[in-house]
Amino acid sequence: MDITLVFGLLGGLALFLYGMQMMSDGLENAAGDRMERILEKLTSNPFIGVAVGALITAVIQSSSATTVMVVGFVNSGMMTLQQAVWIIMGANIGTTITGQLVALDIGAFAPIIAFLGVAMIVFMKNPKLHHVGAIMGGFGMLFIGMDMMGAAMEPLREFPPFIELMTTFTNPVFGILAGAVFTAIIQSSSASVGILQTLAASGLIPFSSAVFVLFGMNIGTCITAVLASIGTNRSAKRTTIIHLMFNIIGTVIFTTLCLMLPIADIVGSWTPGRPAAQLANMHTTFNIVTTCLLIPFGTVLAKAATKILPDAPEDAKTTSLLGNLNKEFGRTRTQLGADMIHMDLLRQEVEKMLTLADQNVEKCFNAVLNNDPALVKEAVETEKVIDTLNKDISQYISKILVNSSSDANVTSFEQYFAMTGNIERIGDHAMNIGEYLETIRKKNIEFSEGAKKEIAAMRDITQKAIDKVLQKDEDVTVWLSEIAAMEQQIDDMTKNYREHHLQRMREGRCTEEACILYSELLTDFERIGDHVLNIAQARVRIAQD
């Protein structure tokens, strides 16, 4: 076999894969934000879930990308395992659109389509037109690559070793294994199906054998989601198990039907003499029929995945998503829906950080009121966690901002950065209050009953304000005005308590040490209120972004 044929085959394969990637990226960039909004409104209705999965995958032409996105959403808690079942089923239907496009006989127009697309990228300045150009350029390159592969494969019809290899695929097991392994290597069922269509169109593999290879390709495409689930939580890993079960069950059903009934002949009769279209139709039929058969059993699939991978005892002890958060960034930063995953992970961790700060505010006020050093000890340990969260979240946001190629959601990430700084300062002020206990105990300082009541009132209004920030109110304008009113109340209380404090000094009911310490405590109290309002304002900006 001439080495130039190998070069031609590799060159055609390169153009085909690059064209597919270019077209997929263009489609994703043109419609990515809208797809994210669709997912945000996702319901638990099975048919809507299947439709959403099919729509997104048809747009980006990659069931692997959709499934990896779903794994990320389940891992971050944005999506339930049950919702993921429907999305995965739909993704398997949507991925068949690529095979249908490849089956179109437009090879003669491919060069001009590719030229127009590249011209739009090179000569147009509008980013939206660049996305359209990428779609057109990739579409054209895909068909040019197919033609190159077809021309290179032509002599293989008479190459004995290759003929012998193709005949082994008449055995369903060998065909399924070959399809699964090949697709697992290139990590794209759309690309592997396109290559199989080229082989069939060149007469190198009969349709009756190619169907088994096609079924195996549906299994092989699961490898991308499996790799994406490494390091994720158990629910995310179960998502990949469901993806595998769906395709394995479909393969078993269709392999059995093809061996017992003339299914391949029936599907082939729809487009006689067009092997590429026959494979595209079989691919579509496989996924639609399998989805229709398994939709009633979606809950069963989810339960089976939970049985296969049950909860581990240590899962219940896991308190932070941040243990692997920076590793998660490396895997998700370029995938579809990555910003949504990052945003939700950050929201959960920032809320956790604020909850811990709220706990420390309560502990430290109570430590002063009850003369309880044990509470200060607990607060010190909690403060270490707050500082660690602040460091990890800040590093994570920095990575996102440095590596992001889009300006979308930048404001939200910056606001989360600001929120963590304010929460960290609340924690510091809480610790200042707790540390006053050491001076109180060392100098035997005793607050008057009036001062104690005021300190208890400070604790209560501060916690009320922080709890309000943690609430999920739909009307952010009203929500923010309520928090602003509380912050003003804190300012008013600080002013009034200072006057009360001066009055106690004049009446000799307060020692000099107690006066100084109480004044410092009031300063910390007022500053906590300022930081609470800053956090609320940042949350409103995120909601409006």
Q: What digits encode the pLDDT tens for the residues 246-266?
A: 999 999 999 999 999 999 999
CA dihedral 339, 342, 345, 346 (to 10 degrees): -100
Q: Is the pLDDT of residue 319 over 80?
A: no
Q: What is the domain extent for residue 517?
A: 323-544
Q: What is the mean pLDDT of the chain?
A: 84
Are residue 381 and residue 510 in the same domain, yes or no?
A: yes
Residue 427's pLDDT band, with cuts at 50, 70 and 90, is: very high
Lowest mean pLDDT among 117-126, 289-298, 407-416: 407-416
pLDDT, mean of residues 501-523:
83
pLDDT on residue 235 = 84
Domain-terminating residue out of 293, 314, 335: 314
Residue 163 has pLDDT above 80, yes or no: no
- Greater confidence, 410 or 493? 493
How far is CA 370 from each of CA 159, 452, 456, 515, 523, rounded to the nearest angstrom?
90, 10, 11, 18, 21
Helix 63-76 × helix 189-201 angle, to 10° = 170
Check whether 332 has a pLDDT greater than 50. no
Confidence of residue 432 (pLDDT cuts 50, 70, 90): very high
pLDDT of res. 301: 92
The predicted-structure confidence for 343-365, as pLDDT tens digits, reads as follows 777 888 899 999 999 999 999 99
When mean pLDDT is compared over 17-26, 139-148, 275-284, the highest value belongs to 275-284
Phi, psi of 216 (to 5 degrees): -65, -30
What phi and psi, each to the nearest 5 degrees, are found at residue 10? -65, -40
Q: Which of the listed residues 291, 314, 337 is the one where a domain comes to its end?
A: 314
Share of the chain above pLDDT 90, in %: 41
C-alpha angle 44-45-49 in degrees, rounded to nearest 5: 85
**What is the count of structural domains for the chain?**
2
**Three-state secondary-structure class, residue 334:** coil
Q: Are 124 and 133 in contact (CB under 8 A)?
A: yes
> Which residues lie closer than 8 Å to 529 by C-beta, 6 or more apart?
462, 465, 486, 487, 490, 491
- Same structural domain, 89 and 184: yes
First to last CA, the chain: 60
- Give pLDDT, residue 406: 52
Tell me the one-letter amino acid at 191: A
Least confident of 102-111, 323-332, 514-523: 323-332
Same domain, 328 and 310: no
Same domain, yes or no: 147 and 262: yes
- Residue 491 amino acid letter: D
Which whole number is the average pLDDT over 68-74? 78
- 3-class secondary structure, 474: coil
Asked if 341 and 76 count as a contact pair (C-beta separation under 8 A), the reply is yes
Q: What's the confidence (pLDDT) of residue 317?
A: 38
Q: What is the pLDDT of residue 407?
A: 56
Q: What is the pLDDT of residues 29-59, one digit of tens each?
A: 766 555 555 655 555 578 888 988 888 788 7
Task: Answer yes or no: do 309 and 358 share one domain.
Answer: no
Q: In the numeric block, which tokens belong to residue 448? A: 């008057």
Query: Where does the pLDDT of residue 150 fall: very low under 50, low under 70, confident under 90, or very high at 90 and above?
Result: confident
Residue 183 burial class via C-beta count within 10 angstroms: exposed 0-12, middle 13-18, buried 19 and up: buried
pLDDT of 71 strictly over 90 = no
Question: What pLDDT is stored for residue 157 in this prediction?
Answer: 65
**223 shares a domain with 204:** yes
In this predicted structure, what is the pLDDT of residue 41?
Answer: 58
Based on the domain organization, do 270 and 350 belong to the same domain?
A: no
Please report which helix (H) or strand (E) contains residue 170, including its range. Answer: none
d(CA 280, CA 335): 26
Give the model's pLDDT for residue 116: 94
pLDDT in the model for residue 535 = 96
Four-point Cα dihedral 451, 452, 455, 461, nearest 10: -110
63 contacts 95 by C-beta, under 8 angstroms: yes
- The Cα 62–Cα 21 span in angstroms is 9
pLDDT higher than threshold 50 for residue 490: yes
**Domain end among 314, 345, 374:** 314
Q: Looking up tokens 């200042």, which residue turns up?
A: 432
Q: Are residues 381 and 441 in the same domain?
A: yes
The answer to whether residue 325 scores a pLDDT higher than 60 is no
| pLDDT, tens only, 198-233 | 888 888 889 999 999 999 999 998 887 887 777 677
Contact of 354 with 535, CB cutoff 8 Å = yes
Lowest mean pLDDT among 321-325, 444-448, 486-490: 321-325
More reliable by pLDDT, 382 or 12: 382
440 pLDDT exceeds 50? yes
Task: Answer yes or no: is pLDDT of 480 > 70.
Answer: yes
Residue 540 near residue 418, CB atoms below 8 Å: no
Mean pLDDT of 302-310: 91
The torsion angles phi and psi of 159, rounded to 5 degrees, stand at -95, 105
Q: What is the pTM of this model?
A: 0.66
How wide is the angle at C-alpha 376 spanned by C-alphas 518 and 364, nearest 5°? 45
Comparing 137 with 127, the larger pLDDT belongs to 137
Distance, in Å, from the CA atom of 3 to the CA atom of 38, rounded to the nearest integer, reads 49
What is the Cα–Cα distance from 528 to 491, expressed in whole angstroms?
10
Predicted local confidence at residue 396, as pLDDT:
82
Which has the closest alpha carbon to 63: 246, 205, 265, 308? 246
Q: pLDDT at position 371, please?
A: 92
Asked if 540 and 469 sit in the same domain, the reply is: yes
User: Is there a single domain that holds both residue 298 and residue 378?
Assistant: no
Residues 355 and 301 in one domain: no
CATH number for the domain harbouring residue 461: 1.20.58.220
- Say if residue 170 is in the same domain as residue 61: yes
CB atoms within 10 A of CB 397: 21
pLDDT band at residue 524, thresholds of 50, 70 and 90?
Answer: very high
